[in-house]
Structure 1
């Protein structure tokens, strides 16, 4: 096991609804229970070991019951496990994703998330409507006694409409390509003319035509019809024209992807009571099976994720001899990569299960997500990294 796959010295998982949690101290922090001293306050936990010490900052309204920190158990390969009791008066609100935040009769600017370049100028949507569930065709077949009247028909936005999918929005392009966007076919047999901004492709739409940011060449979506764009919520940001562009959407790429997908699966599970997801590339191939376990977790880890986005320590000015960490709101998930032939029976079963919700994303974003999940798994104590055939991971949740 290399350094990039070593567990955190300090790991705390707290369940706010259950008002319980566990603290794991690796042998690098302390090898014997007698070496550990834990003190708690209204919004902090201070842990002292033989080799190191740290402060844990908890959200307002969350505290650890001191007597629960006394019983310790040694687990082979992990270190010391300590069960905790939690007092929680904190009601967390998840920040809405783009799908939940778009409203009619409001003005928006669309920008590339990677480079912040504005790709669609000020737009005011007269209607913002949700698309049917991804399995709606199958439901029509099950419930209707006559042939499906919607077979082979696309639901497309009219002018000044915005249609909301699970991981994308459909917008009417109207007047033609914007200068900040490029239409690029996936195959080389179609030439895109830079002089006309790709209007030839708009006249002859192809499902394989991708929408590319002219500035950074990131894939933002696809062309659905001659005047309709599909833009993925992991690739674009939307803001009001009056917002200060210097103070918005400044999250780094990895943290943005992590936040958006975590918040989105919470939204979908809340509205549709589904907890299993198939993350699919825009090529239709399944890349990750994702199972949401809970969304009420606070996590503290002294190991920085591979992206540097989550669980990153910050120096405590008041205690120079201590390291300081902040608890993060996260979702706990099980996941199974589909990129190999392993567990083909599970993948096939999920693909046939109507209760599994598909989340289409660009292929590169599926790969980014898999790296983030793998990095989270590698930071966990060894005994907590797997559950049955699935791997365990935590994703940071953007919240108020």
Structure 2
């Protein structure tokens, strides 16, 4: 019997505009004489010694329309055919929100106040005494480029205003909400459950997960007056005052779906700025060092299609020897990246300065920043998803191909 690693794989993407299913069969059986049979609800691949059946759910194939047979690298068979989705299958499962996620986060914090928890272990993040008098949304990341038109620098005889530095920082009892993070004064952080390391990393003492980072203190400010940046996707904001009534939910944990977080972020950025190409930048933050001297990373990201239905076979056959093919709604992406800091010595095969310059000059390209740990999580997710694609689908025109699973919003 073949090992699981050598078992054939089925991969397909669905085009809703033409009702076409583009299919790829991956198998080392293809270097032999094999038969591929397409029936309305399954695809069968068989040779003289081996065979398996891929069961498709939610779609009915039209075998007579099968065409475009093409063999690549003796291990990939490409073909396409028409099909019909099930009546109950939703081609567009994502429903647009009426307001931005940033506005929703502001409303949630105003309602729940200090009820912030680690998304994994439910460790309390803010102190019980913390009552936030002001919760305000931050402007877009590019606001500081136009600050000269908005502010009179050193207004009120302030020697170094936060506006002049290009930063908006909250004071005591204030919370500023960004698109991917929230800012609060360190004095409101629960030091029993949360630890700030010397390098500025903010971790949960209970589960050891990084949930944020400390922002460099202003001159003359005490440690208690410094600012903590919490990453939104690591937090659970919920009223757990009656934790004994929902003990099972707490014990199971609330692990954050990174696919859902990043797909929602890119969808919102695309809708807001009418763009499908992005320059995502990141700069290492910390408690010391000149900001300009810190290493930076850049990712060029191209959203090819925000609504793609992807079909992939499971790695393990069921008890009957059949392989289930499941459907996932994804955003199809091409990307290049250049990592700074410790990763700067890797081969510069992703992004060159000339390419970045061309994208920055293009008004249709939207740029925004991510906290460095969040940026690295996005790149890692894209690379992991890229590796799950068939070999012929992982690279195109100098870009890596990947996808992000879409979150379903009710």
- Residue equivalent to 1:359: 369
Displacement of 1:124: 7.0
Q: How far apart, CA to CA, are the structure 1 residues paired with 2:78 and 2:33?
A: 10
Q: Secondary structure at the match of 1:370?
A: helix
Paired residues of 1:72 and 1:80 also in contact (CA < 8 A) = no
Determine the structure 1 residue equivalent to 2:118: 112
Summarize the Cα distance change of 1:232–1:351 in structure 2 as closer, same or farther, 3 Å threshold. farther
* CA RMSD, 1 decimal: 3.9
Say if 2:410 is the partner of 1:396. no
The equivalent position to 1:136 in structure 2, one of 143, 147, 161, is: 143
Distance 1:98 1:387 in 2: 32
- The normalised TM-score by structure 1 is 0.72
Query: What's the offset of the Cα at 1:52?
Result: 1.4
Q: 1:83 to 1:140 in 2, by over 3 A?
A: farther
Structure 1 gaps, min length 5: 187-208, 303-311
SS of 1:185 mapped into structure 2: coil
CA distance in 2, matches of 1:136, 1:157: 16
1:81 aligns with 2:78: yes
Is the 8 Å Cα contact of residues 338 and 347 (structure 1) preserved in structure 2?
no
Query: Equivalent residues in 2 for 1:197-276 (5 A)?
Result: 209-224=200-215, 226=225, 228-241=227-240, 244=246, 246-247=248-249, 250=253, 256-275=257-276, 276=278
Question: Which is greater in Rg?
Answer: 2
CA offsets 1:308-354 (integer angstroms, 9 cap, x no match):
xxxx55765xx722121321111111111313433323245446767
CA–CA distance in 2 between the matches of 1:113 and 1:181?
13
Q: Secondary structure at the match of 1:261?
A: helix
In the other structure, the counterpart of 1:66 is: 62
* 1:192 alignment partner in structure 2: none
Contact 1:95 1:263 in 2 (8 A): no
Displacement of 1:252 in angstroms is 5.2
Q: Contact between 1:12 and 1:21, CA under 8 Å: does it hold in 2?
A: yes
Query: Contact (CA 8 Å) 1:278, 1:358: kept in 2 or not?
Result: yes
Q: 1:176 to 1:333 in 2, by over 3 A?
A: closer
Residue in structure 1 matched with residue 177 of structure 2 by the alignment:
164
8 Å contact kept, 1:10–1:29:
no
Alpha-carbon distance change, 159 to 147 in structure 1, aligned in 2, over 3 angstroms: closer
Structure 2: distance between partners of 1:6 and 1:333: 28
Return 213-222 or 153-162, whichever deviates more: 153-162
Query: Which of residues 279, 282, 286 in structure 2 aligns to 1:280?
Result: 282
1:295 aligns with 2:306: yes
Structure with higher helix content: 2
Give unpaired runs (5+ residues) of structure 2.
156-162, 218-224, 286-294, 340-345
Q: 1:148 to 1:235 in 2, by over 3 A?
A: same
